[in-house]
Amino acid sequence: MIKEIAITDCMEGDIIAEDVVNCYGGILVARETVLNQYILGKLQRRGIYRIRVYEKRNYTKEKKADTYIQLKKSYKEDIIEVKKILCNLAVGKGLDIEKIADLSDRICGKINNAGDILMVLREEKGFDEYTYSHSLNVALYSMLIGKWLGLNYQEIKEAVVAGLLHDIGKTKIPTNILNKKEILTSEEFELIKKHTLYGYKIITKAGNFSENICEAVLSHHERMDGSGYPNGIWGDQISLLAKIVAVSDVYDAMTTDRVYKKKITPFKAFQIFQTLEVKNLDPLVMKTFLMNISPYYVGTNVLLNTGEIAKVAYIPPQCITEPVVCIGKNYIDCSSRKDIEILNMV
């Protein structure tokens, strides 16, 4: 439930239900942001007198903690299921369609727990078995993007399945190439690029997946400017589902440690997304993802290049790459302090 209340009646921990805008329509604070003293003070200084927030449910801290603990436990169990599915395929067994359907249903059941899901994903970025955790992470991010885009349940479920299976073709690639720490040779890279075709063949042969899912598995490395693979299609030739999986795939890869590359912070990832480096991703899907995921990083702890631990106090919607952080009662606006850099999440 949503209620409108006076800014003076708001409390730290309240969650904004609708974007708070200024008189020109510019977003001051994005929806889903958790209120703190810095944000409340900022809104009062901007002449904002009333905002819409979610009504607090009758959850105790213990119940909230239980929900998070259950999601974390479920996440690890789901990775085990993904591993079973992919390992069985790698040794010549067929796809377990029923297990995939059950797993996707279980994932979709978490759709209203975005905050807890993203917290689990942040904390589990060091999970050892990247191949399996990456497939699950892409499914979860794709589910959230589908929700934020306003897709219906069936479309969201297809996004989840496509995320789970997007790299299934890598079961046909030698692990010594997939896990190689050195720079790949051109021949090795060409072989890895074939995972999209291998994956497409695997799931079309299974015969139980929609055309949308098959197309997303085939085309999640296609790019808006035609520079992707395997077919070099571009723009609207790429399906929406493939565009969703592409954004999820790139973001998770950037923010997760891999054998050949260290992870970067979400804020650095936001910056890269907004530069020419990834303008070949669909702008609507990318913007929807960035504007909806960024508020969830308010309240997280970060390591600064000064060696200090700070807390993210505010993320300006117009500049999500440079948040306001606080150390004790001292607030630092990263957009005006170019000497301050966020090195890592804590």
Residue 57 clears pLDDT 60, i.e. is over it: no
Amino acid found at 283: P
Residue 59 clears pLDDT 70, i.e. is over it: no
Question: Average pLDDT, stretch 16-29?
Answer: 89
Q: Per residue in 120-143, pLDDT tens?
A: 998 887 545 788 999 999 999 999
User: Given this model, what pLDDT does residue 340 score?
Assistant: 96
Rank 16-20, 86-90, 189-193 by mean pLDDT and report only the highest: 189-193
207 token code pair: 């015969």
18 token code pair: 């609708």
User: Given this model, what pLDDT does residue 126 score?
Assistant: 59
Q: Tell the CATH topology of 61-295.
A: Hypothetical protein af1432 (1.10.3210)
Q: Tell the CATH topology of 2-54.
A: Molybdopterin biosynthesis moea protein, domain 2 (3.90.105)
The model's confidence at residue 63, banded by pLDDT at 50, 70 and 90, is: low
Within the chain, residue ranges assigned H as helices are 37-45, 61-90, 97-108, 114-123, 130-148, 153-165, 175-178, 186-193, 195-206, 211-219, 240-254, 266-273, 283-293
Within 266-340, residue ranges assigned H as helices are 266-273, 283-293
User: Given this model, what pLDDT does residue 94 score?
Assistant: 87
Q: By percentage, how much of the chain surpasses pLDDT 90?
A: 83
Lowest mean pLDDT among 234-248, 256-270, 326-340: 256-270
Q: By percentage, how much of the chain surpasses pLDDT 70?
A: 95
Q: Tell me the C-alpha distance between 60 and 66, whole Å.
A: 10
- Tell me the three-class secondary structure of 65-107, residue by residue: HHHHHHHHHHHHHHHHHHHHHHHHHHCCCCCCHHHHHHHHHHH
User: Given this model, what pLDDT does residue 138 score?
Assistant: 98
Average pLDDT of the chain to the nearest whole number: 93
User: Given this model, what pLDDT does residue 337 score?
Assistant: 94
- Put simply, whether the predicted model's pTM sits higher than 0.75 gets the answer yes
The model's confidence at residue 26, banded by pLDDT at 50, 70 and 90, is: confident
Which residues, including other chains, have CB under 8 Å from residue 155's CB and lie 6 or more apart? 146, 212, 241
Q: Tell me the C-alpha distance between 22 and 320, whole Å.
A: 17
The model's confidence at residue 276, banded by pLDDT at 50, 70 and 90, is: low
Residue 64 clears pLDDT 70, i.e. is over it: no
